Structure 1
Amino acid sequence: MSIAAKTKTLQHADAVAVRSWKTPILLGVLALFAVVVFIILGPNGHATFRISQENDLWQVPNLVVPAKGVGIVVSLITLALAYLAYSQTKTVGKISRWVLMTFTVVFVIGLMVWIIGGTTTQNITLVGLFTGAMLITTPLVFGSMSGVLSERAGVVNIAIEGQLLAGAFTAALVSSITHNAFAGLFAAAAAGVLVSALLALFSIKYIVNQIIVGVVLNVLVAGLTGFLFEKIMKTKVNGETIYNQPTHLPDLPIPFLSQIPIIGPTFFRQSIIGYLMIILVVALWFGLFRTRWGLRVRAVGEHPKAADTVGINVNRTRVMNVLLGGAVAGIGGAYFTLVAVSSFSKDMTGGLGFIALAALIFGRWNPIGAALAALLFGVAGNLQSILSLAGTPIDGQFLAMLPYALTILAVSGFVGKAMSPAASGEPYVKE
């Protein structure tokens, strides 16, 4: 047998070895679910989506669709995509990304039409759905970007939850004392850096297991902020809790863009943190994949020994990225107390740091992919309040578990095999 034939045989064997049927099975189950629920058990009414608001630049008429008809179309499309996923897995060993994305979008549309068609009001405001989702999406994006910065350099950042919580607490406290929201914003970034400094110190310098350090930091920050909340923020002066009254960051609508239906209120009627989020995603993607700095960071995360041989200081690069990631997560934490609500409460991040990790994995360690995954989780998290107001017969607890169910699917690999940076979680000791 020739060398070329042997190489082809080995490549074929490798493809067979890594072939996974989890995703085709999951898509097939969801497609059958669509047939049973959307068609057989689907409502016969109509679903109405309100697109425009009164102050939009132009008015778009409501979108009214028959729930049963949409259910039939969605079921046929999902069945076809599930079969295509099976076929691609059988022939080439992997599923095209567009198949997964199309299946997800179509299934979510079908699910929303089915739910809304069975409500008492049978209508939903898309602007309210997406603007409300941004309250969840924004800290998720900052958290996932923190994870991208750390893990692309080879450090697993489990401490995102602690960084978000530290940022939220510090922003509220400093803003309350100084009566300046921007002072609180800078203090939140510093708090995130402080948590990251501990992560870098123990995991990079003292080579402690990165996951254990991250978990310990989360517990430490939760306990510390809870203690300081009781001892400082609840302290009343002249009958008022003056240390828990942070200044609110105002919305800064962009003329014309903010009046575009759906897109405008969602992305262009934001506070400065919301605009920083958009800039951060684009800048980080460009920096990682189009600059020399990004090439060095990815080299450190993929093959630190090779990076060291060409003169890159591996551990210094890791420390700088972890600290930068901490600042990013700290700003994301400030969103809770300077934008979303105007006070701090114990454990107010509610586990979003862990969902940010799932968004990171779901987006395959790509800034844009992670941001889109965070938007998906944000919409799923906001569905509970929107649909409860619409009078859905579905139990609210079921809707509340959607973000966590998506998290499990993301981290378990059912959405496709996600390969982390090769050296992620591995300490580097220079020989």
Structure 2
Amino acid sequence: MKTLISFVLLLLGNTCLNAQTQPDRSYSWVEGIPVTQAKNVYLLTLMEETQAVNELLKSDQVLEDIAEIKKNELAESLVNCGKDGTCYPLTLLFTKEEVEKIAKRLHDLTTQNPILSKLIKDHIAPSGMYQIQEENDPAAWIANAWRQDANTLNHIITVYAKGEKPNYPKIDSLGMNVPSSNYTANIQALNELVYLKTQHSKLFFSTTLTYAMDALEMAGMDRAGDFEPMHLTVNQLAYNRAKSIDWDDFDYPLILIPGAGTDNYLDSISAGGILRCKLAFQAFQDGMAPFIIVSGGNVHPYKVQHNEAIEMKKYLLKLGAPESAILIDPHARHTTTNMRNTARIMFRYGFPIDRPSITVTTPAQSNYIYSEVLQTRSIKELGYSTYRNGKRLSATIAEFYPLSSSLQIDADEPLDP
């Protein structure tokens, strides 16, 4: 079903979303929220941070009973698991039965109480983060969004507490030998910590949510919140400059340079990264676009400390590009998310998205981006297409149109959801 919906989104260019529920370019996240958490489970973060919703959920007996069950199961793990490290995370997972019981209760509460419907109207719909879960009925939509967030929490715990393989084990794995005495000691301590933090909580998801976020941090995999909010930090100069740009003065709004990881821990930027920057800087000097975005996270090799986007920005500055012309996406881990995150930034920063921008990169990667292979991979891995192709201009330059479907959360990539 997910794949079918994704193909419909691709074919219709997102026109299947009605006018009331299309993502809103002026939408702003709730201030003061934990960013890594919000990027992964925005619905639960809103439920936690919106006082009226928080109180409603805590006062519901069905949901409060589930909260007590999860807290009791966590306490029992500290008594029963002993030296079996993989035992500790199991009770924190939501079972299929629990997920559906909660979905039904949230559906019923939404039909009874306008507070939850308002959450859809004011946040879920305009954010664009749950487009695949969309339903005309707010109660069904909120139940679907809950199912996604529950699956996200289960995935994080399965990978970063239980130690199972992520989608890309060579770059995103837990980094501890499972089982081992060191792993067991750490995971037992994690259970102790979360027990102390959540024993008085009444929200049905608090214990599991806290456990998932602490597991990510323990593993050093909580980078989704790095540099945020970027329009007020690393992207502030370019973000402010974009407000005064006359876009008609340029052929394209933006030049995208996809990231390229290094082959060792010594180099801060790869040979591929240098060449891509040089190619893009030439296009910038030729006046093709007023902005360059560099996209790439801390990816290759495993747990590398250098960030691809940061290092490429440094190199562009060295070449002579003004900082006010450079945007960074420091989170992308694959070519799929180079394209997706760029679309997100363009959408949220007010860049034109009804006309093409361009990718500038090495010929092999340019061919890959322009091919159906990457589109197919995007639909398979993300659940949707993030862009559509325009014209090919040369061996290294091709047009692309960003799609607002890119705002949808990816439920099983917590480092860059």
TM over 0.5: no
Scaled by the length of structure 1, the TM-score of the pair is: 0.32
Q: Which has the higher contact order (CA 8 A, sep 6+)?
A: 1
Which is helix-richer, 1 or 2?
Answer: 1
Q: Give the TM-score of the pair, scaled to structure 2.
A: 0.33
- Structure 1 or 2, whichever has the larger Rg, is 1
Query: Which is richer in strand?
Result: 2
